[in-house]
Structure 1
Amino acid sequence: MKYKIQISLLALFISLSGQAQVTNYKEIEGQWLVKLNSNDIGTVYTVLDFETDDKSFKAYTRRGADRDILGFWKSSLARVFTNDFKKGSLIRITDGNISKRGDTLILAAIFRSAIGSYYFNGEIINQRLNAVLRDRNKKVRGTIVGDKVATIKFPLNDYLKIVTEAIDTAENKIYNRNELESKEWGEFEKIIKKKSKRYVDDVELVFAFYYFASKLPFSHFNLTRIEEDTTKTSLNSENNNLFLEEKNPTTALLTIKSFAGTAEEVDSVFSIILEKDYSNLIVDLRNNPGGSVEAGMTFASKVIDSTLIGGYFLTQKWFNENDNLPNEIELSDFSVFSEANYDLIIDGIHKERGLLLKVKPAEESFKGELFIITNERTGSTAEPIVHGLKLVERATIVGETTAGAMLNGERFDLESGFSVFVPTADYYTLDGYRIDQSGVEPHIKPDDKDPIKYILGHLIAEN
């Protein structure tokens, strides 16, 4: 009898210990006010609802938010045919596992949203969440920090006021005020002001602004909040934009993820290319969203052997006085910009009616066969480079039509802590072609899903 009592007490102790451990995990249940700092959408404040089940968890932002952005029918289709908006949440954290190390809860899950899916790894100490988002290549794509809160007052900000200030700024700074007379602009202003009254957090506002602005007849218009990342893991800690790979002794592949880097970064890569004396260079610009004029013009200078007139910017000063494009005489009066310096080109856009872009070849440049790969997400700074190299027959362009998102954009701070990105100069090629909303057509649209393989097997092999 004595032993039976001891065994029963031991079983009860083990059972209670297990229940206590589960209860600890339930500490994370409820609402968390968090700050998401992302390469994709900047900084946003939102509320995550956490739910647990034993050692698993999930979290999500407001359910049904997609209805307030897309409307009933489009949101219904999005829920059926994509995995982005399950139950209408714009952000979801799924497949979560919880473990404990001392007083720290360790979280591992999948972060899902329309901006992408990433690995979520975090920890909770004293009701404080710190998490990192990484892509499949383990590159940091964002951070999430926040605290559990008992009550939250919605909305988190006055979103109608923010939208109104953003629109007022755009109407003052946009390159051509005639765009404000378009049907598309009128519809945008009406719907974003009306719907902003329904949004409860930054995520909903930023997603909605991006969605409705994408219907406008110009690009480079968005709303973001940019704050310094104060977490231990900086989003800028991995800033390599160029990757060089030797495909064979005569051919190199240069992948340029973005032109957001520096001229020095481009110089460094091309010093290797020139030293190796490759006969063929494949440049992969797929998914390159653009970047700075410094890296872009430096790259162009490394692959041309004669001066390249890229095109010209037209500013608000031009469109205030003219409805047509400049003729040859008027173009000859434009200031010529040929230095890879962002501050100088912005200064010129602020002061001049128009600005002519000219790229001079570097002292040492690549003179072999050049192949450029593009897709529908090759945008902004990358596009005039592709068009210019195609126009002078310097490169063979392979892939898909580019994004059609080429304007000069500038960021203007708003009182709310947000900033609005506004197109301040239109861009035309020397032959009068407007890349924005149209894109650049490639020479070849291969049936082969692997354009690198196509170039190596069909174009270089034939040479």
Structure 2
Amino acid sequence: MKRMLFAALISVFSFFSCQVKAEEGEHPLRGDWKVEFIHPDIGQVRLILSIEVEKNTFRAHTRKGADKIVLGRWTSFLGRTFTSSFKEGRFIVVEEGKITGEDNGLLLDGIFRSPLGNYYFKGTLVEGKLQVDLTTKSGAVRATLSGNPLAEVLPLADYQNVLEQVFEDTERYLYNRRLIEGKSWQAFKSKMKAISTEVNDDLELVFAFYYYAQKLPFSHFALVRGTMEHIAVNRSEKQLNFEDKGKGIGVLTIRSFGGSTVEMQDAFRLIEQRNIAHLIVDLRGNSGGSIEAGLTFVNHVATTSYDGGVFLTRQWFDQHSQLPTSAQRSTFVSFSDPNVTTLLANIHQQEGIVLLAEPSAKARFRGDLYLLINDKTASTAEALVYALQLERRALVVGEKSAGAMLNSERFSLPEGFTLVLPTADFYTADGKRLDQVGVQPTVSVSSNDALDYVLNLLMNKE
């Protein structure tokens, strides 16, 4: 009798246990999702997001232990020990997730944490489609996620094939072939080959590429996925902002040189209309951009024509191991027209291209010029800062710049990836290389204090 009762209890328990598991498994949010993650720093990557659900709460994360695959055992140990970036070795974690219902689906809220930043996770699940905005405190959309339940077999792509094309393009088009003969390139190549057999999704591959590319002796080398339109999540954001501080003082904030020449010209027409005598140009956090907007800016503040530096191409380094002499520089093509198409054509045809600043005929600023920089000021921004500093046209205030100044181009790869690759080196008019070095400010102050420093300097002049 006892055995029969015990068997019955086991049967009842098993039934309810199965029912609970069935109910748990039926939740539309639970399980593995194939997600498109669009972020301006890494492009449009595919990743696997595992979501756990309990009642009206959820937790989401990428693969456990991915840090060991990408960073190695020792570095991953240090990362977990001294930072909160890699909980259990996961690159992305969504915490404090809350689920609320609506007529047509579910509303999702949580906190998104990753090495790319922490954001508010605000999403919906409607008819099996996950849609999420990652926002800042101000509500600005920084990145997006969208996805469906995972149906593919992992890995998501042939990552070995992607990297083989990376290696081929780099060794063919990198501005100096001697770099690919060095130990650092060979180490990078070997490490990425090994990792390509272990990663499961785009995110893991891109993170690995970024991490090991930092050890190479050149910048502007990156692996992204998707078009530039996909990467620019907030495409409506203006790149320029002008503020009249009164007393002839103006502040022009240039977030990047990714804007248009028209936008730059309009800013200087406004500066001219306001009779600005002291112009502070805030380039803190400006990561560069197009030579078009950069040269347009320089031409509006130049007081005379001057040499803005030289691009040296693969054609030069194939024939020379030294920098060009003055006589050799005089034979290079001069470039003053802010047109990126023309510049790239010359880079593929010429040994060297000399950048020339030519004062603009309209809305030229002739007053006092101050440039604010920090360790995020890079690329085109660094070249123009150094040139204006060298010509004693501007007082440069802040922190040393990033040291990432090369000409880069984009090459299409399999699986929708794009390789960003430097195709020309850059040297200043006085023969200094900015890449891996940076620009030293004239006045060194904390980045946070740079604007106040210049404003106080100008106020005290009154």
TM-score by length of structure 2 reads 0.91
Residue 163 of structure 1 pairs with residue 163 of structure 2: yes
What is the CA deviation profile of residues 111-143 of structure 1, one whole-angstrom value per residue up to 9, with x for unaligned ones? 221122222221111110111222334332222
* Equivalent pair of 2:142/2:234 in contact (CA under 8 Å): no
SS of 2:414 mapped into structure 1: coil
Aligned position for 1:181: 181
Aligned position for 2:101: 100
Mean CA deviation greater in 74-83 or 392-401: 74-83
User: 305, 312, 316: which is aligned to 2:310?
Assistant: 312
Cα pair distance change 1:234/1:301, threshold 3 Å: closer
Aligned position for 1:87: 88
Aligned position for 1:426: 425
User: Superposition pairs for residues 20-419 of structure 1, below 5 Å?
Assistant: 26-149=27-150, 151-227=151-227, 235-363=233-361, 364-419=363-418
1:391: how far off? 0.2
Question: Matched residues in 1 for 2:342 and 2:446: separation?
Answer: 43
Question: Matched residues in 1 for 2:70 and 2:100: separation?
Answer: 37
Aligned position for 2:445: 446
* Equivalent pair of 2:374/2:447 in contact (CA under 8 Å): no
Question: Matched residues in 2 for 1:61 and 1:300: separation?
Answer: 45
1:388: how far off? 0.4
Question: Matched residues in 2 for 1:236 and 1:456: separation?
Answer: 31
Question: Matched residues in 2 for 1:187 and 1:354: separation?
Answer: 30
* Equivalent pair of 1:140/1:238 in contact (CA under 8 Å): no
Cα pair distance change 1:53/1:308, threshold 3 Å: farther
- Opposite residue 364 of structure 2, the aligned amino acid is S
SS of 1:77 mapped into structure 2: helix
- Opposite residue 291 of structure 2, the aligned amino acid is V
Aligned position for 1:16: none
* Equivalent pair of 1:92/1:111 in contact (CA under 8 Å): yes
Question: Matched residues in 2 for 1:152 and 1:416: separation?
Answer: 15
Identity of aligned residues (%): 40
* Equivalent pair of 1:25/1:54 in contact (CA under 8 Å): no
- Opposite residue 409 of structure 1, the aligned amino acid is S
Cα pair distance change 1:125/1:447, threshold 3 Å: closer
Question: Matched residues in 2 for 1:32 and 1:54: separation?
Answer: 19
SS of 2:397 mapped into structure 1: strand
1:148: how far off? 1.6
* Equivalent pair of 1:37/1:229 in contact (CA under 8 Å): no
Question: Matched residues in 2 for 1:85 and 1:178: separation?
Answer: 36
- Opposite residue 97 of structure 1, the aligned amino acid is K
Cα pair distance change 1:311/1:119, threshold 3 Å: same
- Opposite residue 417 of structure 1, the aligned amino acid is G
Cα pair distance change 1:448/1:226, threshold 3 Å: closer
SS of 1:355 mapped into structure 2: strand
Mean CA deviation greater in 123-132 or 46-55: 46-55
Question: Matched residues in 2 for 1:62 and 1:34: separation?
Answer: 13
1:24: how far off? 10
- Opposite residue 333 of structure 2, the aligned amino acid is S
- Opposite residue 365 of structure 1, the aligned amino acid is R
RMSD: 2.0
SS of 2:154 mapped into structure 1: coil
1:227: how far off? 4.0
1:328: how far off? 0.7
Aligned position for 2:5: none
SS of 2:416 mapped into structure 1: coil
1:248: how far off? 3.1
Question: Matched residues in 2 for 1:114 and 1:359: separation?
Answer: 39
Aligned position for 2:6: none
- Opposite residue 428 of structure 1, the aligned amino acid is Y
Question: Matched residues in 2 for 1:342 and 1:239: separation?
Answer: 22
Runs (4 or more) in structure 1 with deviation over 3 Å come to 22-26, 227-230
Aligned position for 1:3: none
1:200: how far off? 0.7
What is the CA deviation profile of residues 194-222 of structure 1, one whole-angstrom value per residue up to 9, with x for unaligned ones? 12211111000001001101110001111
SS of 1:283 mapped into structure 2: strand
* Equivalent pair of 1:303/1:361 in contact (CA under 8 Å): yes
Question: Matched residues in 2 for 1:340 and 1:447: separation?
Answer: 33
Cα pair distance change 1:435/1:280, threshold 3 Å: same
| Structure 1 unpaired stretches of 5+ | 1-18
